[in-house]
Structure 1
């Protein structure tokens, strides 16, 4: 018997009348982490007349489906618990508005989630430093990530010494999608920097002055993850919504919103995460170089343009070829139209 079995048996006792709860008010926090068994027990606790339920949750932070969490407990709240008033808590006291706007614009695209607008009490950057908000740095390979993080820490140190950051020290959390991302950490940090590594799941509920997400690449052990759930585990998991990378998007939102002052995204220039591609296309991130990330394939959330050679010379084609045969003569910038929309006669010579 596991904990979920105990919840089910407890609900059985309440529903059958073998136990009558003396509690008139039931309060549930972190409702987005509730399983159907927990929802059933909660319904049973407030089924008698004169019982009231107060629940607090944020469906944008529903990231524990692997542990049985069911997003529909929040999105279908009134279907499960009956009618009642809903108050949207739309003010954040952590991030300033720049981070809030980027994170909210990214996560709210999923139509299955609750629509809301989030406003920060910090309508302007907290300090004068240029590294406030969400910025992107590209690297040639994973081997360059520790140095990129180290450069960022040095910038923060210099900003403290120069007065751009009004503080004696700042905290920086490096948030990895997996524990193995710890290997991307720099060997040391300046004494003014309180540096820590956490997985994004373990960082939920925490905060830091700055957040670094070090492995925004495409692939299996990347972000978003493409690792398939274990078939046995899948038997115990609730069905996910159909929006692409739905839970991974919410996980990215959680990572962004752990930061009070600024976020640094690190991405390989030739194999960027689809999330990076989307942020660039939507102009939600500031690119700080040193090289621009590969140009997103127009209209595609996965592929990027790479220079190829064919019988007619050099051209640009989608990285997902042969799944996508898109080509153009000149790579367009974000939001621009390509010089040639599509070619079906010229095939890349790979």
Structure 2
């Protein structure tokens, strides 16, 4: 099967280019013969959780009132982005079922789940909540069980191979538009890939910090004492990564 009408050609192209960075995978070219290739991906940014929460609300207000929406996280704790930053009571959230009511648009069908649980499902619009680095980012930096590493074939040795396939699953859950909710203080290394090599045009207004050439995490501006002339960039992966560079 090389044709699909489940999602738009721009998403087919971007998700395919992303997952095929893993050269051990079998290459298959999908196309949507009925699509005009309107761009179906957009990056939303914020350096703080509050800013990312506000960006999500702004987009929800622009969507059709009866749209179906999927909020995807890498872990269930990613729902905290909504539940812990809702200062004005904009949502009614059932943390057990993942059901979300947005009273401004009561006919909107909104559901939260993890990327793993979303396999096989589709909604009109998808918000990928966890586009950050770090231990519980996406890709997750939580070590695999040692036994699992022994069971995986050698082709699985590409760094983050399983996380890459899971991110592809998350990307392809939408029918109309996918929103990446980007942590601009510590973006996912997958965001750097999309920004630098695959779909840079979706990052309008969402600037990423420099990326660590050693481990792929973000660099952060730091200071030694109070002297601004002694500023430098340090890796957010510290202490596991100790890369630094002067601030030019």
Q: Are positions 1:317 and 2:236 aligned together?
A: no
Name the counterpart of 1:177. Answer: 74
Q: Are positions 1:103 and 2:12 aligned together?
A: no
Name the counterpart of 1:227. Answer: 142
Contact 1:125 1:261 in 2 (8 A): no
**Which of the residues 166, 184, 203 maps onto 2:118?**
203
Cα gap change, 1:122 to 1:254, in 2 (>3 Å)? farther
CA distance in 1, matches of 2:189, 2:58: 25
Shift of 1:197: 0.8
- Give the alignment of 1:55-204 within 5 angstroms: 89-125=1-37, 132-156=39-63, 160=64, 169-185=66-82, 187=91, 188-189=101-102, 190-204=105-119
**Which of the residues 147, 165, 180 maps onto 1:250?**
165
Contact 1:303 1:318 in 2 (8 A): no
Contact 2:122 2:173 in 1 (8 A): yes
Name the counterpart of 1:295. Answer: 210
Contact 1:153 1:193 in 2 (8 A): no
Shift of 1:176: 1.0
Cα gap change, 1:288 to 1:192, in 2 (>3 Å)? farther
Shift of 1:226: 0.9
| Bigger CA radius of gyration | 1
Shift of 1:300: 6.0
Structure with more relative contact order (C-alpha pairs < 8 Å, separation 6 or more): 2
Q: TM-score, normalised by structure 2?
A: 0.78
Give the unaligned 5+ runs of structure 1.
Answer: 1-88, 127-131, 161-167, 330-350
CA distance in 2, matches of 1:238, 1:169: 43
SS at match of 2:216: coil
Give the unaligned 5+ runs of structure 2.
Answer: 84-90, 92-100
Deviates more, 1:316-325 or 1:240-249: 316-325
CA distance in 1, matches of 2:2, 2:215: 29
Shift of 1:313: 2.2
CA distance in 2, matches of 1:244, 1:308: 28
Number of aligned residue pairs: 223
Over the residues paired in the alignment, what is the CA RMSD in angstroms? 2.7
Contact 2:214 2:243 in 1 (8 A): no
Shift of 1:142: 2.7
SS at match of 1:92: coil
Contact 1:90 1:117 in 2 (8 A): yes
Shift of 1:312: 9.0
Q: TM-score, normalised by structure 1?
A: 0.57
SS at match of 1:154: helix
